[in-house]
Amino acid sequence: MPKNIIDIQAICYTFADGYVGIKNISVSISKGEFIILAGKNGSGKTTFLRHLNGLLLPDSGKIFVNGYDVSKHLVQTRKTVGMVFQDADTQIVGDTVFDEVAFGLENLNVKRTQINEKVTQVLEDLNLFHLKERNPSTLSGGEKRKLAIAGILVMNPEIIVFDEPFSNLDYPGTIQVLSTIIDLNRSGHTIIIATHDVETVICEATRIIIMEDRQIKKDGNPLDMIKHLESHGVREPCSSKFGLGIKPYG
Question: Would you state the torsion angle of the CA atoms of residues 222, 230, 39, 22, taken in this order, to the nearest 10 degrees?
Answer: -100
Q: Rounded to whole angstroms, how far apart are CA atoms 136 and 36?
A: 29
Question: In the set 45, 51, 118, 144, which binds ligand ATP (CB under 6 A)?
Answer: 45
The least CB distance from residue 194 to Mg ion, in Å, is: 6
Picking from 41, 177, 198, 43, the residue whose alpha carbon sits closest to that of residue 208 is: 198
C-alpha neighbours within 13 Å on the C-beta side of residue 216:
21
The least CB distance from residue 118 to Mg ion, in Å, is: 29
The answer to whether 147 touches 93, Cβ cutoff 8 Å, is no
Question: In the set 43, 185, 190, 200, which binds ligand ATP (CB under 6 A)?
Answer: 43
For ligand ATP, the closer CB: 118 or 145: 145
The least CB distance from residue 164 to Mg ion, in Å, is: 6
Q: Are strands 34-38 and 20-30 parallel, antiparallel or unpaired?
A: unpaired
End-to-end CA distance of the chain: 37
Q: Which does 15 bind (CB under 5 to 8 A by kind): Mg ion, ligand ATP, none?
A: ligand ATP
Give residues 185-214 in contact with ligand ATP (rule: CB under 6 A). 214
For ligand ATP, the closer CB: 104 or 165: 165
The least CB distance from residue 40 to Mg ion, in Å, is: 10
Q: Rounded to whole angstroms, how far apart are CA atoms 80 and 61?
A: 20
The least CB distance from residue 40 to ligand ATP, in Å, is: 7
The least CB distance from residue 191 to ligand ATP, in Å, is: 17
Question: In the set 43, 46, 53, 91, which binds Mg ion (CB under 5 A)?
Answer: 46
Query: Which of the ranges 1-9, 40-48, 103-111, 125-133 carries the binding residues for ligand ATP, by CB under 6 A?
Result: 40-48
Question: In the set 2, 42, 245, 250, which binds ligand ATP (CB under 6 A)?
Answer: 42
For ligand ATP, the closer CB: 42 or 248: 42
**47 forms part of the interface with Mg ion (CB under 5 A):** no
**Can you give the binding site for Mg ion, defined by CB under 5 A?**
45-46, 86
Residues that bind ligand ATP (CB under 6 A): 15, 17, 19, 21, 39, 41-47, 86, 214
